[in-house]
Chain A
Amino acid sequence: MKKILAVVFVLLPACATVDYTAPGQGTSAELQSILAKSLEENMKEIPFDPEGKKVDLQVHASGGYQNSLGLEGYVKSLFREWILSKGGKLDQGQFQMAVFLPVLGDTAVRRDLSYQYIPLYYSEKFQATARMIVVIKDAEGKTVRVWQKADGAGLSDIYLMRIFGPFDIPR
């Protein structure tokens, strides 16, 4: 019993904390990871087959920190690879694909559960929100298809008694 009490005495004041002090640490690795995953997941269901088609690609994003140039470049690079890997070509004259990203960001939620000042559960949860709208027009400028998807990846770091962990629970 004394040994158990001694272990409890050592364990209880333990404390694990996820630190994030932007901007000096740069963009958090976990944040980048869930944003990249969200974009890739959203792209899986685009109802357009670019095989054998010439596609003029444009990307418009409103997110990103300080400016959206990085995000637009990243998404354009993703779509370029997607179009070419499906047998399409990046060129003008046949189809125009406009990709809009009105939302790409994340929220972070911290949860602490304690009983009588005893910390039992602590978690940091990142949740990305990604809304992607793809507008496809033909050579005459007529809208052929409008498709949108809003799916975001998430990631949780869970600590039990603020000492055991982190247990990663990706979604």
Chain B
Amino acid sequence: MEIRRGGRIVMGRKEKALLSWAKIIVLIFFLVSACATKRYWGPTMGRSADSQFTPADALEKALKSASFDRYRGKTVWIEVYSLTERTGEDSPEERFLRSWLGEKLVAHGARLANSVNQSEILLDVKARVFGIHQTRRDFILLLYIELTDGIVDLHLTAYEQESGKILHTEDLKGEAKYREYYILYIFGPIKSLK
């Protein structure tokens, strides 16, 4: 209802409330049409960054409990096997694992052999899992989350090269959880890595 005060039109309480609601509705309509979506076009974009750094972080966590000190002063040859895809003999995961484990062993005082015959210890690494699991969660209108879990499950067997005897075995597991949150499908990403 309009109220005239000194020639001016002043809105009543009802009109003010209606105007507030109208503003909220316009804002909601504006926000509702927002849509943030993480895009990935494989294979031309290469392997996605999330798919690379989450297993790498999970590997780092898995290796924290490894006992590499036992290889100090020994010459080691590393062989890595996994069920990951490949075009040649080794998959990218296997090459990365071999190099990274090599660096870790050297840092703990081991030496890397140039060939299997020159080694004292053959370290056989079976990667039961070296990859990611990805899930998308939509709480429509309110929240959208991309969840990427990097998972690593390794089984290490150390053989004495000369006799072929098993010296020891070790299981190493690690998981890295990466989350990207988008609020109202437009604000974000708010990132979290555990």
Contacts and interface: CB of A to CB of B under 8 A. Distances in A.
B84 A32 contact: yes
B48 interface: yes
B138 A14 contact: yes
Interface string A61-78: 000111101110110111
Contact of B83 (A23, A32, A81): A32
B47 interface: yes
Interface stretch (A83-91, A92-100, A109-117, A131-139): A83-91
B137 A16 contact: yes
B128 interface: yes
Contacts of A166: 135
A66 B91 CA distance: 11
Interface of A: 10, 13-33, 35-37, 64-67, 69-71, 73-74, 76-78, 80-81, 84-85, 89-90, 163, 166
A16 B135 contact: yes
B128 A24 contact: no
Contacts of A29: 129-133, 149-151
Contacts of A14: 137-140
B180 interface: no
Nearest to A37: B128
Interface residues of B, number: 53
A21 B48 CA distance: 10
Top 10 nearest A-B pairs by Cβ distance?
A24-B42, A13-B140, A36-B128, A29-B131, A15-B138, A65-B85, A29-B151, A74-B81, A19-B134, A77-B81
Interface stretch (B8-16, B23-31, B113-121, B158-166): B158-166
A28 B45 CA distance: 18
B85 A15 contact: no
Contacts of B124: 77, 80-81
A93 B45 CA distance: 51
Contact of B153 (A15, A28, A33, A85): A33
Given A24-B46, A29-B149, A166-B135, A66 B87 contact: yes
